[in-house]
Amino acid sequence: MRSNTIHVRPLGACVGAEIGGLDLSAPLAPAARGLVQQALAEHGVVFFRDQSLTESQHIALARQFGDININRFFAHADGYPEIALVVKEPHQTRNIGGGWHTDHSYDQIPALGSMLYAREIPPRGGDTLFASMYAAYDALSDGLKRTLEGLRGVHSSRHVFGVKRGDLDGRIGNYAEATQDAVHPVVITHPESGKKALYVNPGFTIGFEGWTAEESKPLLDTLYAHAQRPEFSYRFQWQEGSLAFWDNRSTWHYAMNDYHGARRLLHRITLEGRALG
């Protein structure tokens, strides 16, 4: 029999936990909200199963954790600019998020995280991988940690969102708004957990401040190869009604593109974060 008591069950060795016993369609009691925040800070991503949310309930849920960031590039759900569509139709070949990245690192104040809710899931495939940047940082040598402490990474959206891609079929737009670059420490201290995390990602980091792209590449490649080690990651299998709430400061994610011919539709709401230090 399923227990209705709230429980947190760690899933991966380093990242991911399932939270059971909560109905996300109703406002959360302060203690329940605190438990979700604590689990998120500790495990990097939390998963909920068997939820039934309207668009308005999804928005109300997100607002309990912060202000909503309206995504300037993604198509949104009809009538709900707060909800970015993460969709791939049966005839489309390219998916959204199909490479390791952390959302919004190109913003001056990167997003806290995102709540991704599954509305339509293919019969097979379409999993999402999450990787812990706490674990990636902890496993670096002391010498490399010392080198990284002084470095700042340059992040950009230009090469991803500033280029019109026919195979995205209008799912991403507003190319002219991909103008800003942001600089953040390569090692951040997470504002809630106080733990250190590696804060560069293959999707959006283009180099180190004061270094050329050529000089930056070898060290970035080393960090990316290290952070992609399977033991730092967890692979989540979606069902309709699943919701993942991840922390963009301490994790990367990667949407698998292995379900051609089937539809996958998720609704994403992203929350504003705080300046990184």
Active-site amino acid positions = 101, 103, 253, 268
Minimum CB distance to ligand SIN smaller for 82 or for 103: 103
Minimum CB distance to ligand SIN smaller for 21 or for 241: 241
Among 61, 96, 121, 271, binds ligand SIN (CB under 6 A): 96
Sheet order of strands, 128-132 included: 233-236, 128-132, 251-255
Among 58, 190, 249, 268, binds ligand SIN (CB under 6 A): 268
| 253 lines the binding site for ligand SIN (CB under 6 A) | yes
3-state secondary structure at position 112: coil
Query: What token pair was written down for 104?
Result: 């919004």
Site size toward ligand SIN (CB under 6 A) is: 10
Contacts with 252 (C-beta within 8 Å, 6 or more apart), sequence order = 100, 101, 102, 130, 131, 133, 201, 227
Minimum CB distance to ligand SIN smaller for 45 or for 266: 266
Shortest spacing between CB 114 and ligand SIN, in angstroms: 6
* Residue with tokens 């283009």, as numbered in its chain: 206
Radius of gyration of the chain (CA): 18
Binding mask 108-147 for ligand SIN (x = CB under 6 A): --------x-----------x-------------------
Minimum CB distance to ligand SIN smaller for 197 or for 255: 255
Query: What token pair was written down for 177?
Result: 């708004």
Q: Which residue is closest to ligand SIN by CB?
A: 97
In whole angstroms, what is the distance from residue 120 CA to residue 262 CA?
A: 10
- Report in angstroms the alpha-carbon separations of 251 from 105, 124, 171, 208, 230: 11, 25, 24, 20, 13
φ, ψ for residue 167 (rounded to 5)? -75, 0
Among 255, 269, 271, 276, binds ligand SIN (CB under 6 A): 255
| 16 lines the binding site for ligand SIN (CB under 6 A) | no
Among 59, 86, 188, 219, binds ligand SIN (CB under 6 A): 86
| 40 lines the binding site for ligand SIN (CB under 6 A) | no
Nearest partner of 195 among 12, 11, 13, 14, judged by Cα: 14
| 85 lines the binding site for ligand SIN (CB under 6 A) | no
Containing 235, the helix (H) or strand (E) segment is strand 233-236
Query: What token pair was written down for 188?
Result: 């951040």
Residue type, 249: R
Minimum CB distance to ligand SIN smaller for 116 or for 182: 116
Which residues contribute to the site for ligand SIN (CB under 6 A)?
86, 96-97, 103, 116, 128, 253, 255, 266, 268
